[in-house]
Each structure stands twice: as C-alpha cells, then as structure tokens.
C-alpha cells in the first residue's frame, strides 16, 4: 500500500508519534481499510490492484492504435464535405508533356490525377508521368521551400528589390531561358516584360528537341509548326525512331488513335499496319507489326531510296527496305502516315516530301490543329551559350528549365560563370538552380494558375487545387512585378481570356459564365478555320538533291527517352523511378542496351559494366531486337541535384548529345565499348522472357482472324468444352464484376501501373528490394518475346489479380483472411491476415504481394510514406498496409462501393462504364474495360463473348474474372 | 515375454540388473565431462546466432529473409518439414518396432523419443516465425471469440497442420515422459542429494515399483502407443498435404502423404543413427547400443531408401504420363536438368543411391560408413525439401514471375539456432535423464544368455 505522509518527519521516518495520529483522528483511507488491521493486504489493496491491472491491460491493449485527433472544421468551407472528394479540371504541362486532367481532392489535398474524359484530345487517357505528378507536389526534399540568395534564405521582398535593381542597371542583354511556353498568358507576361526591358530576349529550348521538324516544315510549307498527326486515319503507319506511343509529342492522343486504328470488332474488320524503323527497342517498336532494326545513318538512306522510288527516280540501287516501304506506301495512298523522331532537317524534309507524295496531308496530317508544343530552337540556344561565353549577357533568368543538366557537354555550365546575374525559377531542386544567384521557387502546377494552348484551337486552364505548401511564387507573378505591373497572374489570365479567347465563341454572352464553364470543363475548343498546305517546289527539289548519308560502319550510341522518366525532369519521383521500363523491365537505373550478338562479341552479360567514353561506364542489358553495333542509353538519369530519390542513380548522357548543323543530334558514333571488370546488379522485375510455348498470350494474324475470329484462340473452345468440376459453379446474384483486356489495344505504356499505385497507396520499396523480387505493384505488365532473338516479336500483357471464382488462394488461408465477395471479387481482410504467405504460393498468377517490411513511417524506406507531407498523397479510402500482411488488386473496390452508394442514393442501377478502376481510367488506349458480367448488355459481357476472349491458365478451371482478347498482328 | 526373432544377445556383457542400472544412470550421477561442456558451448553459440536471427525477424520483418513474392516459402518451411521428419523417428521407433515385436529397440527408443520432442519443438518454431504478424498467431487457434461468424478456414491445410503438430507434440512428450517415470524413480532412489531427490521425486510421481504400478504403467504405455501410432502417420501426411492440396506443379501430387511419411521415417532413423553413433562413443554405452543395433537401423534405412527412390521415379513418371505441361516442365526441366538440377541430383544421390551400399555387410558394419551415410541422408532429405519447395515456386506457371531464391544470413541464423536448441536439449537430456530405458532394458538384458545357459 502507498505510504501517505503528513509531515516531512513522518516521511523520513524520524518522528512518528502514534498519539498524534490518534489525536488527529483516523484518516479516511485508514477507515476504509480498517476491516482487518492485521492483514497486510486489505480489501482496498485488492481493489486497487484490480483497478491497476484493469487499467494497465486497457492501456497496453490500446498501445497498438495511438490516438489520432480529427479536428472538425470550425467554419465548414462551402465546397468541402469531409470524406467526399472534390474534382477540379486542370491541365498538366511540364514544359514538354501536355495532358488535360481532373484532380481528385480529398479534404483539401490533391491525391490523384485522372484524365479529363470530356476532352476529345485524350479521351481521359494519361501517362505514367501525368499520374505520378501528384506525388512531386509533396516532395519535401525535392522542392525549394523558400527563396535563396547565394544559398542563403532570403525573402521575396528582398529578392524583388535586388533583382529589379540589377535588371535596371543591366547594360547587356537580359535573357529569359525557358522550355516551351504554351500558355498565351505567360506569353503576354513575357511580352510585357519585354516592353519594360528593351534589352530583353526570350530563348526557348527543349531538352528533347523537335527543332528540325519545325524547320523542315518551314522549308516545305513555310510554316514553322508541328502538324497534328492522325494515326487513327492511317492505314499504314511508319515510324522512324519516333516513340510516339510513349514519349513523342502527344503520346496519350497518339496511343488512343493508334489503339482505335488497331481495334477489331465484328463491324470493323480492318486494322492499320505499323512499320517501325529504329535502333533500340522502344515501346512503339515493340508494338509494330514489322520492326526493322537499323543503324542511325540508314534512316536517311532508306528515306532517300523511298523518295527516289516514289518520285520515279529509282535506279534499283536503293536499299531493300526502301523498295518495300515504297511499295507499301503506294498501296496505301492517302492513308499513309510517316513520322520520324530524328532531329535532322534532311530526314524531316524527306519525311515531309514522302508524306506529301503519299497524299498524307489533309488525310493523316493536318496543319489546322498544329501543335504549340516543343517550340524550342536549337540554334537560338547555341547562340545564347555563345553570347554567354562572350560575356554579352548581363542577366539570365531560367524558368523551370535545367540547361546545366540537359545541355550537351559542359558548355552551358562553363558559360554560366560569365553571366552577372543568374536567376532560376524552379519548382524542384535542379542543377541549374544550384548554380544560380537567386533561386526563386515556383509552386507545383497543382498549386498554380495557368492556361495552356497546346494546339491551335485548343485552350485549357490549370487551376490550383491546394494552397502552396511552401513559400513559393509563380514565375509569371515575379516577371509581372519586375516589369512594374501590379496585377496578379491570375487576373492577367482572366483579362487575356476575356479579350482574346472569349471572343472566339458566341455561345455564351457573359465572360464570367464563360470563364466558369471553362474552369469547370478545363478546356475550351473553338471552331477554327481549316488549313490546307501545299509543298513548295523548292522543298521537293531539296528533298531530291540531298547529300547521301554518311555511312558509319562503326558503333553508334543512341539516346532515347525512357518511358518512366522522359527527359529527367521528374527523376525525383519515386513512383517513376520504380516503374519498370516496359521493354527491358529495369527500374532504378539507366543502362546500355546492346544486341545479343554484340554481347557475345564483347563477352558481356546483363549487369556487366561497359565503358562507352572515358569515365562513363554503364551496366549492360542484352536487348533482343537491338541493332548490332548500336548501344541505346536512356536520357534523364544521373541527376546530381534533385532531392534524395534520384541523386546518384544512373548516368547523365545528355552530355554526349551533339550539335550538328545547328541541331541536337541524339546519336553519336563511338568506339567499340570496352568491357570492364566491374559488375553491378540491375533491378529487373522480370528475368525470364520466353513463354516456354505456353498459351499465355495468344495471338494471330489479321488475315487468319478475318477468316476465323477465334483464330489463335482454339484452345479456349477446347477448354470450354472440357470443363469438368466436382463443385457447383459459383453463382453471383447481384453484380459479377469483371475486367476485359484487349491485347490489341494495350501498348504496354504502364500508365495503369502508376495509376494503381497512386490510387491504392502502393509503397515504393527501392532498388535493393526490387532486386530481391519484392516489387509491390498491384498490377504489372508482363512482356514476352517471341521468335528469334535478333529481332523478336514483343507482346505485353497487363496482369493483375484475376479474381478467380475458384480462387486457389482462398481455400488455403488458415484464418479466412482472403475470401470471395458475393460480387465475384477476391478480397483480403488486412486485419485478419497473419501473413502465412500460403496464398502467395498458391496463386498461379503470382499477383499477390507481401509486406516484407513496414513500408510506411520507416527510415529504411525513405520515400513518400516516410514524411508527413509525403503521406498527404495517400488515398484515405484505402488502408495503408502493415508489415506482414498480404495485399493485391481489389478491382478498386472503394470505387465500386462509391458508385454503388451514389446509384443507391439516386435510386437507380449502376450504369455500365460508370465504375472505372484506376487502371481502366488511366489507360490511354482504352485497352481495359470493367463492368458487370450479369448485365448482358455491358461492354465487358460483350467482350467476354467475343471469340477472341480467353483466360490465362483457363485449363485450370480457376474461372478468372479477367479476360484477355487475343493480339492480332497485321503482317 | 515376447521373444524377438533376433538371435544372439541384445545387451552385451551379461550384466546383472544392478550393473545395468549403474551403467545407465552413470551420466546423471557424475559431473559431465569436457566434451559435454564443449558441446554445450557450441550449442549456446548456435542459440545466440538463432537469437540474433530471431531478433532481426521480429524487429524488422520477414523481409530479412531471402524469400520473395514468387518464392514465398524458403528455408523456413524447408527446415520445418526437415525437423518434423527428424522428429518422426522417436515415436516410430517405439510404436512400430513394438508392433513388429522388435525388442532391440528398447535401448534406443528413449533417446529417439527425446530427439522427437526437441526436433518437433524446433519444427514448431518455424510456422510461428514464418507468419508476417506472429503476434497475431493466436488467430490460427479455434478459440471462442467475439468476431461473429469469422472463424477458421477448415479447408486450409495450414490449420490441419496446427492441429496435427500440436497433437503430435503433446503425444510425444506424454509418451516420453510416462516412459521414463520408473527410471526417474530409480535415480531418485539412488541419489544422495536432498535437492536431487526432491526434483526427481516430483517428476517420478511417487513411483514405488509395485506390481500394480507396473501393471498400470504397462497398460498406459500400450494405450498411449496405440494412440500415437496413427499420429505418427497423420502428422507428416498432413504436412505433405500443405503441398499436395495446392495447385502448384511439383506440389500438386497425390503421392505426397505416403512419400512424406516414408521420407520422415527415413530421415528420422538416419538422425537416430547419427546421434547414437556419437553417444555410444562418448557415453560408453556400447554394451547397450551394440553394433547389431546400428546394423538394424542401417537395414531400415536401406529399405526406406528403396521406397524413397521409387517415389522419385514415380513422381517423374506421373509428371510425364499425366500430360500436364507445367508439371512435366517442373520435374523434367526445372528439377532434373534445369536451375535446380544440382540440388536434385544431390537429393537423389544422398537418399536413393548412397543407402543402397547397406546391401553390403562391410558398409553396415563400418562405423565410418554408417556415420557418413547417415549424415548424407540428413543432408539429402534437407535437399529433398529444398527441391520440392523452392524449385516448384521458383518456376511455376507464368514465366514472367520466375524468380530465384537465395537465403540470407538471418535464414541461416535461424537454422543454426534450431540446431542449438536441439543440441542443448539433447545435452540436457543426457545429463539429467537416463538415456536408455532402464526398466525396459532390464527385460532384455538377459536375452541370449538365458538361451545359452539352457543349451549348456
């Protein structure tokens, strides 16, 4: 029993007088325990111990779930209902890629990007980079939190005063260097700035340059434009080094068009034919019906040959490929589309001429909606660097660009020292800002106002969806301030829209209404006059008289954009770093792809380091389909300053891009690479590339399919006929959810993988863990090679949980943590899972994922889930899984529930197509269709009844709810 | 008294009962020798390694192991099955040799049963450890709860495992303990220290050696033996069902329950042989565990090896005969000639080929070969489980998933730790408990000699 004391003497035991005790009377606590004064343990003690034990048990039991406070709004904001998402239409534009989007905002924080379905340009498709961009918003370590002057924190007021002063006193040129600006309002800001400072000029450049296309069009059509390509109108698609399905210009649009042109239905029995000429295996090349591997110089030879044959000047000495190509083009008059990604004016001039002769203009190529993307001019950039070097530049203002990183060689970095004032506007840490005097952080695009005009006749708005997390200010606001304009950028946008864009329509008479509507829809597409072009004779003549290509029999190094990282501006995004390259299946690294033949010659294998230049060593990937004597290396890696994720990953090869005839050339000739003794481990998510003769991806050719729609899928009929089971077949009374995957529409771009990751709080685990084959992605894209190793066919197969009606995972779980819902979904109860992993073993598709470690709030996995701001991106509708539980695709059950509840409140049935799991929503090719099998009219039901439909491993009678439509090639 | 068909003597030296008691009780009554301390140190070190591995596993998660999303079971389940197999010998020794009236087993079964208990304890660790959230392991028990309709999944072989293993462990301990009551009483009676008397006295449960006690003791032993016999078969058959019930090629085979059972007896006997050869050497019990005993075990192994070998052949035949392409691929390609061929052929060599040398008396009589082959069988049986578990998972249906598996230090640490546990248990056992059933051996110690006397 506790000792109670009344005085210090008593406490110290020095003085204790029972008489005194008597005098003061018996204290209360003693009274209560006085029933048996002899006993040491009193009733009171007993009660106390009871209470103590009970309380400690309660306290200990509650340890596992610490108390978290949810503080309600004191004043409820009008447009926020806790627990309900708000959606804002906006535009994604990062200086290169454009995509109209919807932003899902939960409780004031953007948590998911989706494509804007109402926009015909993209039909709601996205890319992985667009999907992942929401994570960059919360990148605490990769963003600047406040302005810096010479590395020290400064204030905006101070910076404004200083810079304005310095600009005023600038004697020499003031240059604003940005990547392509597609915002009319920003252009207006720059114009105003120019009015204020007459020694000002604006230089636009792109890390991945499309300069030659614009220059060639200037030459051919007198338009320095990039036309709008229509892959859906083309019967013959010919690509030269243009990865138009993953990176080139408008991949989302092109993927949709491409998928539409290749879709086969009962009423559409024809599909386009796709030929691809390239050195390394790109996503686009992997989808081609026929892929030709060529050395970089061969492109010009083939195009010249084709041109000569088509122009009637053929002399029989043309390359074989040119003859075939010319023949195919002749067959597809007015339906041909030739695109080239090579930044070479000769190539582009020829492409224009051939397209013109093939009758593409007006049919598959259109200058009406020509693109405003990629306006960069390589010559201007070179001129700028020369001027900087010559000390002709007083002030260089860099706007959200990173030339120190992506300018070929060290020229820019060295010239930068000779500029008096260097200012960098940047939303993310980058190499250029680190060298600037002033770093003026701009907000993330989800925190900014902006407008976009990516193409003629297409206007979009970008609006903030969250208050800026850090002390940032938009570049446009700064420029306005420095040019003595006191209106904000937002007001300027409205003003400009009222004056210039509002007038392009006559539906709405009131600007406020028009503005509200544009904000709501995200886009405005006025009718514009169509443009027809005629090629100039001069251009045709030029095309005919071009110099012959210089033949390089030696080795070539070819640079390309990786599907995940692009030009590297999003390198610090862990979702993108961990996205396996669709073709090589490598993540967290760039590598040197070489052909199997060369690998043998050099005596190297995957992971061996080869030296390309002095001091540049890269791990080898033996890439089937790679042209011999070429090495392909992805740009966008090797960031020096970017935040913790990307630093030190891979090698920056922008340094080796060359300027040739005023254009950036993305291939260079090199000496034969040298094998080094070193070896590194690559994070591969798939190591076996052969289907071993199993009917996993079923394919056929167009002619066979036209005769028999079940061609290539004969096994399905056999398996259906030989179905046998001892058990009654599962019946689903209400809904029976299912997913159909059209392998003819899937191009393997992996946007769905990132969308799934964003929607379902899938953790990032880092290179080391990926190497141990523990990637957490709920869906993956399996890639198999068919045919010979030197130029194989490639098939992609998205694989997620198949939600088998006879699921093998369900009957082996000892605690019944994984069960079947009465709507056909295989579901995991995370609370119940003890982690025996038996279900993982017994899943024939191996789609189940185990939480090997605690991935959130763990220093060992220092990605977004390890800091408070990074965790803001988490979807509150989806549990963050604890260490030791199994997880997998749930068909986005939270979305199904949401739509069902909505339908119930509106007293109606769920409509077909109303529920879209994240992967389905994100897919730019509409390859995935989700719906209810119990509804015979639903799209998915129809697809399940298609002769092309089959299930992976259907012979096992697992009755998966995911169906695949055979891949048909037009060979 | 039941006579075995065995000719000759089972206990050498024509010992008197007093001599039998003295000889067997000796290790419990003297200070342990140096080798015992050396072995105990080794066991402690191994236990420490295990403790470190355990800490890593509990503190950081199963990610510290080598398993991955394709091969989700690795050394954990291999070691589990291996230890369960080892744990088979004790009960099998007692029960089956009793049924077959093989009296020679009397001098070995105590040790074999001790081995069973410690091996099953080692084995039982792994199902607990291999859980992602071991602190919720109680979910797997059918206890009354407030979770409404949420109950266990009786379809899951893992749940059958829980029941089979816990029953078996309980039964093994019971059988072992009741068998040693008379001997504990003997030590109690011989002991002069009051402390020892008290402790042994408690465990001897007031045994006085009266006829009625012996009568009841014998009946209890028979009943327990009868109960344990089906358990010996069930426990490993159920472990086999963990695999046979799945759909994975290489696991999904009906031959597994008998095949695993025989494999378990096989590996258990091999371990008995290994341990007995060592104990004989250091504990000077050659009179009780004679060369003949070892030869008998060798014969059992030789027979077991034949069954194992034919199971291997049958598996491969069925894989081809069934026409299932995945199964044929696993057996013919992955195992016999592919990534796992070295493991596969080690398994075949150790389990199916080496024991066949026991056809020759020279090998059965040579302590050296007996020891080497017994060790090889232990290794071979470990590889068998490795081949079954890892090769099947590593390359199953969709080639895109194929992944390799490499154990980590933590995996190895846990295995070493269970060795430590096993060794420490066995060392404590030989220190404190008569390793041979004194009361049983007394029943056979005169065998052979009496016959000789009669003849004379």
Which residues have C-beta within 8 Å of that of residue B451, sequence separation ≥ 6?
Answer: none
Using CA coordinates, name the residue in chain A closest to B154. A814
Decide if A886 touches B, using CB distance below 8 A.
yes
Tell me the pLDDT tens digit for each residue of A143-197. Answer: 999 999 999 999 999 999 999 999 999 889 999 999 999 999 999 999 999 999 9
Chain A residues 813-872 within an 8 A CB cutoff of chain B? 813-816, 832-838, 840-842, 844-846, 848-854, 860
Tell me the pLDDT tens digit for each residue of A525-539. Answer: 998 888 888 887 777
Closest-CA distance of chain A to residue B392, Å: 10
The shortest CB-CB distance from A844 to any of B60, B132, B396 is to: B396
Judged against a pLDDT cut of 60, whether residue A34 lies above it is answered with no
Decide if A473 touches B, using CB distance below 8 A.
no
Structural domain of residue B302, as residue ranges? 60-139+248-444
The shortest CB-CB distance from B73 to any of A797, A837, A952 is to: A837
Q: What's the pLDDT at A7?
A: 65
Decide if A773 touches B, using CB distance below 8 A.
yes
Contact A812 B396 (CB under 8 A): no
Class level of CATH domain A148-208+376-459+470-495: alpha beta
Using CA coordinates, name the residue in chain B closest to A829. B150
pLDDT category of residue A40 using cuts at 50, 70 and 90: low
Mean pLDDT for A301-326 is: 90
Contact B399 A840 (CB under 8 A): no
Query: Among candidates B356, B385, B360, which has minimal Cα distance to B373?
Result: B356
Closest-CA distance of chain B to residue A750, Å: 16
Decide if B162 touches A, using CB distance below 8 A.
yes
Q: What is the pTM of this model?
A: 0.90
A–B: how many Cβ contacts below 8 A? 158
Decide if B59 touches A, using CB distance below 8 A.
no
Contact A811 B156 (CB under 8 A): yes
Decide if B146 touches A, using CB distance below 8 A.
no
Mean pLDDT for A102-130 is: 93
Distance CA A378, CA A664 (A): 7
Closest-CA distance of chain A to residue B124, Å: 14
Asked if the structure places residue B166 within a domain, the reply is: no
The shortest CB-CB distance from A812 to any of B158, B329, B401 is to: B158
Q: What's the pLDDT at A479?
A: 94
Mean pLDDT for A721-726 is: 86
Closest-CA distance of chain A to residue B440, Å: 43
Residues in chain A closer than 8 A to B398 (CB atoms):
694, 696, 782, 799, 844-846, 952-953
Judged against a pLDDT cut of 70, whether residue A13 lies above it is answered with no
Query: How remote is the C-alpha of A731 from its chain's centroid?
Result: 39
Hunting for tokens 């199963």 — which residue is that? B62
Decide if B151 touches A, using CB distance below 8 A.
yes
Closest-CA distance of chain B to residue A802, Å: 13
Using CA coordinates, name the residue in chain A closest to B149. A816
Q: What's the pLDDT at A860?
A: 92
Mean pLDDT for A447-476 is: 94
Mean pLDDT for A591-620 is: 93
CA A191 vs CA A160, A197, A486, B215, B358: distances in Å: 19, 10, 15, 111, 97
Decide if A596 touches B, using CB distance below 8 A.
no
Instruction: For chain A, give every domain's residue range.
Output: 85-137, 148-208+376-459+470-495, 222-368, 552-684, 699-969
Contact A851 B162 (CB under 8 A): no
pLDDT category of residue A63 using cuts at 50, 70 and 90: low
Q: What's the pLDDT at A65?
A: 64
Using CA coordinates, name the residue in chain B closest to A769. B63
The shortest CB-CB distance from B329 to any of A686, A692, A782 is to: A692
Tokens (6 digits) for B248: 């994975």
Q: What's the pLDDT at A21?
A: 44
Residue, of A714 and A546, whose pLDDT is higher: A714
* Same topology between domain A85-137 and domain A699-969: no
Class level of CATH domain A552-684: mainly beta
Residues in chain A closer than 8 A to B67 (CB atoms):
837
What is the H or E stretch that residue A816 is in? Answer: none
- Per-residue DSSP letters for A870-925? GGGGS-TTSPPPPTT-EE---S-HHHHHHHHHHHHHTTSPPPTTT---HHHHH-TT
Asked if the structure places residue B273 within a domain, the reply is: yes
Decide if B139 touches A, using CB distance below 8 A.
yes
The hierarchical CATH code for the domain A699-969 is 3.30.70.20
Residues in chain B closer than 8 A to A691 (CB atoms):
399
Query: Among candidates B321, B447, B343, which has minimal Cα distance to B390?
Result: B343
Structural domains in chain B (count) = 1
Pick among A681, A782, A814, A829 to test the B interface (most B CBs inside 10 A): A814
Residue, of A581 and B150, whose pLDDT is higher: A581
Q: Is-contact A687 B402, C-beta < 8 A?
A: yes
Pick among B398, B404, B410 to test the A interface (most A CBs inside 10 A): B398
Distance CA B77, CA B427 (A): 26
Mean pLDDT for A785-813 is: 93
Residues in chain B closer than 8 A to A690 (CB atoms):
399
Contact A832 B162 (CB under 8 A): no
Judged against a pLDDT cut of 90, whether residue A477 lies above it is answered with yes
Q: Is-contact A415 A203, C-beta < 8 A?
A: no
Judged against a pLDDT cut of 70, whether residue A14 lies above it is answered with no
Using CA coordinates, name the residue in chain A closest to B333. A692
Residues in chain B closer than 8 A to A809 (CB atoms):
none
Contact B132 A956 (CB under 8 A): no
Contact A844 B247 (CB under 8 A): yes
Query: Among candidates A371, A702, A347, A752, which has minimal Cα distance to A550?
Result: A347
Residues in chain A closer than 8 A to B62 (CB atoms):
835, 850, 852, 884
Judged against a pLDDT cut of 60, whether residue A876 lies above it is answered with yes
Q: What's the pLDDT at A22?
A: 45
Decide if B130 touches A, using CB distance below 8 A.
yes
Chain A residues 666-695 within an 8 A CB cutoff of chain B? 686-694
Distance CA A967, CA A745 (A): 8
Tokens (6 digits) for B207: 């045994």
Using CA coordinates, name the residue in chain A closest to B147. A832
Contact B70 A850 (CB under 8 A): no
Q: What's the pLDDT at B101?
A: 67
Tell me what percent of the residues of chain A surpass a pLDDT of 70: 95
The shortest CB-CB distance from A842 to any of B151, B159, B246 is to: B246
Backbone φ, ψ for residue A616 (5° rounding): -115, 105
Contact A836 B130 (CB under 8 A): yes
Residues in chain A closer than 8 A to B326 (CB atoms):
694
Q: What's the pLDDT at A9?
A: 63
- Per-residue DSSP letters for B212-272? HHHHHHHHHHHHHHHHHHHHHHHHHHHHHHHHHTS-STTT--TTHHHHHHHHHHHHHHHHH
User: Parallel, antiparallel, or unpaired: how do β-strands A826-828 and A849-850 relate?
Assistant: unpaired
Tell me what percent of the residues of chain A surpass a pLDDT of 90: 79
Which stretches of chain B score pLDDT less than 50?
1-4, 455-456
Asked if the structure places residue B279 within a domain, the reply is: yes
Class level of CATH domain A85-137: mainly beta
Tokens (6 digits) for B27: 């290790």
Query: How remote is the C-alpha of B439 from its chain's centroid?
Result: 24
Closest-CA distance of chain B to residue A807, Å: 10
Asked if the structure places residue B8 within a domain, the reply is: no
Mean pLDDT for A16-35 is: 46
Asked if the structure places residue B52 within a domain, the reply is: no
Query: Among candidates A226, A562, A207, which has minimal Cα distance to A368?
Result: A226
Contact A846 B69 (CB under 8 A): yes
The hierarchical CATH code for the domain A222-368 is 3.40.228.10
């Amino acid at each position: 029993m506790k000792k109670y004391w009344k005085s210090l003497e008593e406490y110290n035991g020095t003085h204790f007088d029972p008489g005194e005790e008597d005098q003061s009377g018996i204290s209360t606590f003693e009274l209560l325990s006085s029933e048996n004064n002899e006993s040491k343990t009193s009733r009171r003690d007993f009660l106390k111990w009871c209470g103590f034990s009970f309380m400690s048990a309660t306290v200990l039991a509650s340890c596992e779930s610490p108390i978290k406070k949810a503080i309600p709004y004191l004043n409820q904001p009008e447009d926020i209902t806790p627990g309900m998402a708000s959606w804002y239409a906006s535009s994604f534009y990062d200086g290169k890629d454009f995509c109209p989007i919807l932003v899902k905002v939960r409780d004031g924080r953007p948590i998911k990007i989706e494509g804007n379905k109402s926009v015909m340009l993209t039909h709601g498709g996205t890319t992985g980079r667009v999907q992942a961009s929401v994570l960059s918003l919360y990148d605490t370590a990769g963003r600047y939190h406040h302005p810096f002057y010479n590395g020290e924190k400064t204030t905006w007021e101070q910076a404004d005063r200083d810079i304005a002063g310095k600009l005023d006193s600038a004697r020499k040129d003031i240059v604003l260097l940005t990547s392509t600006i597609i915002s009319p309002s920003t252009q207006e800001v720059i114009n105003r700035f120019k009015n204020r400072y007459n020694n000002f000029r604006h230089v636009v450049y792109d890390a991945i340059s499309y300069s030659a296309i614009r220059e060639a069009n200037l030459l051919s059509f007198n338009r320095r434009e990039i036309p709008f390509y229509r892959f859906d109108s083309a019967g013959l698609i010919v690509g030269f080094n243009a990865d138009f399905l993953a990176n080139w210009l408008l991949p989302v649009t092109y993927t949709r068009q491409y998928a539409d042109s290749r879709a086969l239905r009962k009423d559409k029995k024809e599909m386009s034919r796709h030929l691809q000429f390239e050195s390394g295996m790109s996503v686009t090349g992997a989808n081609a019906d026929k892929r030709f591997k060529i050395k970089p110089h061969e492109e010009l030879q083939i195009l010249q040959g084709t041109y000569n044959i088509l122009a009637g000047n053929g002399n029989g000495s043309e390359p074989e490929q040119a003859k075939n190509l010319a023949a195919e083009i002749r067959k597809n008059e007015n339906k041909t589309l030739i695109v080239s990604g090579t930044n070479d004016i000769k190539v582009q001039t020829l492409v224009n001429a051939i397209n013109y002769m093939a009758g593409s203009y007006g049919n598959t190529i259109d200058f009406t909606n020509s693109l405003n993307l990629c306006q960069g001019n390589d010559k201007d950039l070179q001129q700028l660097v020369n001027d900087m070097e010559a000390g002709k530049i007083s002030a260089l203002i860099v706007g959200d660009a990173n030339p120190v990183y992506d300018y070929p060689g060290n020229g820019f970095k060295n010239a930068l020292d000779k500029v008096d004032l260097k200012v960098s506007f940047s939303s993310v840490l980058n190499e250029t800002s680190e060298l600037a005097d002033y770093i003026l952080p701009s907000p993330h695009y989800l925190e900014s106002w902006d407008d976009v005009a990516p193409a003629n006749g297409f206007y979009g708005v970008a609006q903030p969806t969250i208050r800026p997390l850090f002390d940032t200010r938009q570049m446009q606001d700064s420029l306005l301030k420095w040019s003595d304009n006191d209106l904000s950028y937002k007001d300027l946008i409205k003003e400009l829209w009222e004056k210039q864009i509002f007038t392009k329509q006559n539906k709405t008479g009131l600007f406020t209404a028009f503005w509200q509507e544009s904000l709501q829809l995200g886009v405005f597409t006025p009718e514009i006059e169509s443009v027809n072009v005629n090629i100039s004779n001069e251009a045709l003549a030029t095309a005919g008289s071009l110099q012959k290509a210089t033949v390089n029999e030696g080795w070539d190094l070819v640079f390309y954009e990786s599907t995940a990282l692009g030009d590297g501006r999003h390198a610090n995004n862990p979702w993108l770093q961990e996205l396996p390259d669709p073709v090589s299946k490598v993540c967290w690294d760039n590598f040197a792809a070489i052909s199997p033949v060369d690998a043998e010659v050099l005596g190297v294998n995957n992971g061996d380091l080869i030296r390309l230049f002095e001091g540049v060593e890269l791990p080898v990937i033996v890439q089937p389909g790679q042209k011999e004597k070429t090495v392909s290396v992805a740009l966008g890696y090797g960031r020096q300053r970017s935040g913790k994720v990307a630093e030190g990953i891979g090698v920056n090869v922008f340094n080796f891009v060359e300027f040739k005839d005023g254009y950036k050339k993305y291939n260079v000739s090199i000496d034969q690479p040298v094998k080094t003794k070193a070896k590194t481990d690559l994070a591969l998510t798939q190591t076996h590339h052969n289907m071993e003769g199993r009917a996993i991806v079923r394919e056929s050719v167009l002619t066979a399919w036209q005769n028999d729609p079940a061609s290539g899928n004969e096994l399905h009929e056999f398996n259906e006929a030989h179905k046998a089971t001892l058990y009654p077949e599962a019946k689903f009374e209400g809904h029976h959810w299912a997913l159909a995957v059209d392998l003819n529409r899937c191009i393997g771009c992996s946007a769905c993988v990132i969308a799934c990751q964003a929607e379902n709080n899938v953790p990032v685990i880092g290179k080391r863990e990926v190497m141990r084959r523990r990637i957490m992605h709920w869906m993956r894209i399996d890639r198999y090679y068919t045919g010979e190793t030197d130029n194989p066919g490639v098939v992609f197969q998205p694989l997620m949980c198949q939600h088998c009606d006879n699921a093998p995972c369900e009957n082996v779980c000892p605690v019944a943590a994984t069960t079947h819902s009465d709507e056909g979904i295989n579901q995991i109860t995370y609370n119940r899972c003890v982690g025996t992993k038996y279900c993982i073993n017994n899943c024939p598709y191996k789609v189940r994922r185990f939480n090997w470690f605690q991935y959130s709030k763990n220093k060992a996995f220092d990605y977004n889930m390890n800091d408070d701001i990074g965790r803001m991106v988490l979807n509150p509708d989806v549990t963050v899984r604890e260490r030791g539980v199994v997880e997998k695709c749930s068909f986005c059950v939270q979305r199904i529930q949401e739509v069902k509840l909505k339908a119930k409140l509106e007293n109606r049935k769920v409509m077909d197509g109303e529920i879209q799991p994240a992967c389905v929503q994100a897919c730019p090719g509409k390859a995935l269709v989700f719906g209810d099998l119990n509804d015979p009219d639903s799209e998915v039901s129809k697809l399940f009844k298609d002769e092309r439909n089959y299930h992976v491993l259907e012979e096992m009678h697992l009755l998966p709810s995911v169906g695949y439509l055979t891949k048909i090639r037009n060979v | 008294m039941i006579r075995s068909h065995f000719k000759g003597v089972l206990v050498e030296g024509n010992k008197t009962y007093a001599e039998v008691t003295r000889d067997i009780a000796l290790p419990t009554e003297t200070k342990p020798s140096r080798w015992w301390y050396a072995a105990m140190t080794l066991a402690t070190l191994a236990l420490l390694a295990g403790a470190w591995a355990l800490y890593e596993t509990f503190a950081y998660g199963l990610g510290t192991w080598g398993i991955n999303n394709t091969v989700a079971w690795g050394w954990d389940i291999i070691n589990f099955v291996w230890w369960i197999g080892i744990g088979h010998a004790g009960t099998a020794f007692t029960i089956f040799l009793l049924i077959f009236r093989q009296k020679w087993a009397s001098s070995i079964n105590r040790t074999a049963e001790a081995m069973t208990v410690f091996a099953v304890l080692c084995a039982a660790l792994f199902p607990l450890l291999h859980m992602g959230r071991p602190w919720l392991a109680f979910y797997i028990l059918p206890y009354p709860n407030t979770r409404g309709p949420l109950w266990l999944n009786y379809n899951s072989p893992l749940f059958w495992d829980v029941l089979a293993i816990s029953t078996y462990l309980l039964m093994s301990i019971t059988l072992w303990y009741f068998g040693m009551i008379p001997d504990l009483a003997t030590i109690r009676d011989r002991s002069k220290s009051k402390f020892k008397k008290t402790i042994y006295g408690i465990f001897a449960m007031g045994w006085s050696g009266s006829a009625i006690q012996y009568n009841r003791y014998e009946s209890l032993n028979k009943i327990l033996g009868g109960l344990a016999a089906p358990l010996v078969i069930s426990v490993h058959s159920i472990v086999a069902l963990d695999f046979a019930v799945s759909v994975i090629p290489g696991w999904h085979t009906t031959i597994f329950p008998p095949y695993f059972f025989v494999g378990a007896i096989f590996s258990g006997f091999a371990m008995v042989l290994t341990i007995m050869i060592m104990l004989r050497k250091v504990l000077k019990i050659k009179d009780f565990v004679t060369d003949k005993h070892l030869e008998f075990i060798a014969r059992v192994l030789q027979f077991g090896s034949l069954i194992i070998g034919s199971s291997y052949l049958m598996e491969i035949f069925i894989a081809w005969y069934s026409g299932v392409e995945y199964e044929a691929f696993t057996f013919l390609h992955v195992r016999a000639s592919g990534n796992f061929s070295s493991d596969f052929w080690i398994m075949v060599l150790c389990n199916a080929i080496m024991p066949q040398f026991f056809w020759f008396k020279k090998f059965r009589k040579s302590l050296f070969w007996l020891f080497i082959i017994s060790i090889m069988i232990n290794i071979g049986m470990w590889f068998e489980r490795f081949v079954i578990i890892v090769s099947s998972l590593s390359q199953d249906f969709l080639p895109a998933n194929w992944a390799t598996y490499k154990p980590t230090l933590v995996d190895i640490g846990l295995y070493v730790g269970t060795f430590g546990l096993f060794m420490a248990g066995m060392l404590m056992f030989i220190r404190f408990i008569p390793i041979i059933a004194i009361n049983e051996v007394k029943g056979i110690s005169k065998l052979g000699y009496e016959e000789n006397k009669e003849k004379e």
